[in-house]
A and B are shown apart, each in its own frame.
Chain A
């Protein structure tokens, strides 16, 4: 049981390049989330999904797209990377939105540097 995994762990991009971050969970969780974490700021929600085939915008969705084609996977795409997207990206999953089910389990993070 690996929990939540993320690939890649680290990536350097040039401005304008595109990339996809992959998140996978093996806990059969319905909810999945993408956050970014920047120094001095809390984790900020980019996009989230409440089930296979559904996605919704979070607090800072601009410049990112997501897809949830399979329940266990949640992909985060950057179509045209900008230096402002340099950050640590965390994926998380949970069983549901309320009560004990809402404990979020995080992946190890992806460190992205955009030059």
Chain B
């Protein structure tokens, strides 16, 4: 089982739609959680950190469920520019330092 698992997609949605991505992680001792965005043939960039109480940044909402060991990202009112791959990232506390990236979920937003 992969340490961080995501639905690979792709998700094809029309502009204005709401889309949700889920991510599960296997290490219950994981400390920090993030969503990164990666455009085609570009480097990953931090989209947002995920806090225990959940957090929102404009059209983006991230949730963490430690009991079930999953993280979610909700995008409301999708824009064409949201088309990208969304990477779930988990940092543990074993071995001093360990950051695990999910394989990513691809999103296509259509006009």
Contact = CB atoms under 8 A, between A and B. Distances in A.
Contact of A42 (B49, B98, B104): B104
A48 B46 contact: no
Contacts, number: 47
B97 A43 contact: no
Contacts of A102: 32, 91, 99
A42 B46 contact: no
In this complex, the member of A42, A50, A99 whose beta carbon has the largest number of chain B beta carbons within 10 angstroms is A42
Contacts of B4: 42
Interface in A15-59: 33, 35, 40-45, 48, 50, 56
Contact of B97 (A42, A97, A109): A97
Given A45-B99, A102-B91, A104-B99, A90 B46 contact: no
